[in-house]
């Protein structure tokens, strides 16, 4: 069960709204409610696993956001969770990421072959766009004036 502020930043319905018009949105729509919940929980864990600057709003809160005295979760964080969930729902890409994490540089199946760049992934997230959305909140990020 999804519980806002405990294991997710957004509901499955909100994720669907965020993902309208995104490439792969039809894949998200075809998932069952249980699959969506599981993927959203996993995406929230991925978002929470990054190192953020500042501090949580309250010391005992489970999730990383809201932060720095704010009362709300930024829209960029919610969108990042939705995009990470969409990326996690792509099973073909997941198998490729797993191969890359295992250090595989290339693979051949019959006449088809694929080669992977070293460190070609988006970092600690499956979605490089989600990582870009979260970058302003990450430890070591600074606003340039």
Residue 20 lies inside a defined structural domain of this protein: yes
Residue 32 lies inside a defined structural domain of this protein: yes
Count of structural domains within the chain: 1
Domain that holds residue 22: 12-93+126-137
Residue 108 lies inside a defined structural domain of this protein: no
The DSSP result for 96-112, as a single string, is: HHHHHHTT--EEEETTE
Predicted local confidence at residue 144, as pLDDT: 54
Predicted local confidence at residue 121, as pLDDT: 46
Residue 3 lies inside a defined structural domain of this protein: no
Predicted local confidence at residue 115, as pLDDT: 64
Predicted local confidence at residue 110, as pLDDT: 75
Predicted local confidence at residue 118, as pLDDT: 57
Predicted local confidence at residue 90, as pLDDT: 87
Cα 10 versus chain centre, distance: 12
Residue 116 lies inside a defined structural domain of this protein: no
Nearest to 8 by CA among 47, 62, 57, 44: 44
Residue 45 lies inside a defined structural domain of this protein: yes
- pLDDT means per 10 residues, the chain with 145 residues, are 97 97 94 97 97 93 94 97 96 58 64 62 79 94 57
Residue 79 lies inside a defined structural domain of this protein: yes
Predicted local confidence at residue 91, as pLDDT: 72
Residue 27 lies inside a defined structural domain of this protein: yes
Predicted local confidence at residue 24, as pLDDT: 92
Predicted local confidence at residue 21, as pLDDT: 95
């Amino acid at each position: 069960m999804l519980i806002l502020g405990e294991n997710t930043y957004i509901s499955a319905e909100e994720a669907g709204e965020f993902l309208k018009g995104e490439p792969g949105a039809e894949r998200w729509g075809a998932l069952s409610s249980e699959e969506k919940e599981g993927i959203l929980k996993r995406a929230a864990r991925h978002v929470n696993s990054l190192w953020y600057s500042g501090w949580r709003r309250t010391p005992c809160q489970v999730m990383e956001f809201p932060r720095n005295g704010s009362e709300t979760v930024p829209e960029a964080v919610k969108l990042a969770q939705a995009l990470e969930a969409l990326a996690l729902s792509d099973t073909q890409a997941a198998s490729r990421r797993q191969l890359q994490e295992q250090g595989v540089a290339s693979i051949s199946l019959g006449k088809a072959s694929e080669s992977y760049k070293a460190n070609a992934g988006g970092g600690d997230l499956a979605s490089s766009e989600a990582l870009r959305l979260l970058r302003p909140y990450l430890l070591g990020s600074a606003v340039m004036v």
